[in-house]
Amino acid sequence: MCGWGNGERQIYTATNHQLKDGKLIITARKEGDRYTSTRINTKEKKAFRYGRFEMRAKLPVGTGVWPAFWMLGSNIDEVKWPLCGEIDVLEYAGKEPGVIHTSLHTEDSHGRTINTREVEFYNIEEGFHTYAAEWTSESIQFLIDDQLVYTFAPEEKTEEVWPYDQPFYILLNLAIGGGFGGPIVDDRIFPQEYIIDYVRVYQR
């Protein structure tokens, strides 16, 4: 699938990822006149309601890469996006070194992304780091290397503001370009690897 509604330039395949030494590696490549990568999700396999969702990973780098660790409401096929809700635990754009984005998309914030934070982390591109969301019936907190960076806790929890009282499934992907990754892609950086040590879900 190409684009995913964001003008992304990659084509997702079933061959751009591997398990090696206990780690999941998603590789983005420039192949001729196209870019290839992988998106993995747990849709219709495993969904979760509340808990701590944590990933330890090493990010790809370079202008044009857009790795993400995120979640979508399992009712997306019935109510569509953004009413289903979206939790972006991690988004990184290679065009902005040292900056991590955490965001929530809802019907209320559609088109504005008002529930978001940009956090500067020096040398976040070096080595492995943890990205987590702690989600309860009252709030969603985002943490980077166990440092709290953003809390979303609206007082009025209507369906348009708070679709987070239902199961969500997990997605991991490495996009290229698009509205978030940017219109410029540096072809000299490829191949690039998004190396995921683990994804863990903690629930009571």
Please identify every residue annotated as catalytic: 86, 91
Q: Looking at beta carbons, which pairs linking 200-204 to residues 24 or more positions away fall under 8 Å?
A: 200/52, 200/53, 200/54, 200/55, 201/48, 201/51, 201/52, 201/53, 201/54, 201/170, 202/51, 202/52, 202/54, 203/48, 203/50, 203/51, 203/52, 204/51
Query: What's CA 147's distance to the chain center, in Å?
Result: 18
Q: Would you say 174 and 28 are in contact if contact means Cβ atoms under 8 Å apart?
A: yes
DSSP 66-118: EEEEEEEETTHHHH-TTTT-EEEEEE--TTSTTEEEEEEE-TTTTTT--EEEE
DSSP annotation of 50 reads: S
Question: Residue 158 and residue 177: Cα distance in Å, rounded?
Answer: 34
Alpha-helical segments (H) within the chain? 76-79, 178-181
Q: Would you say 42 and 169 are in contact if contact means Cβ atoms under 8 Å apart?
A: yes
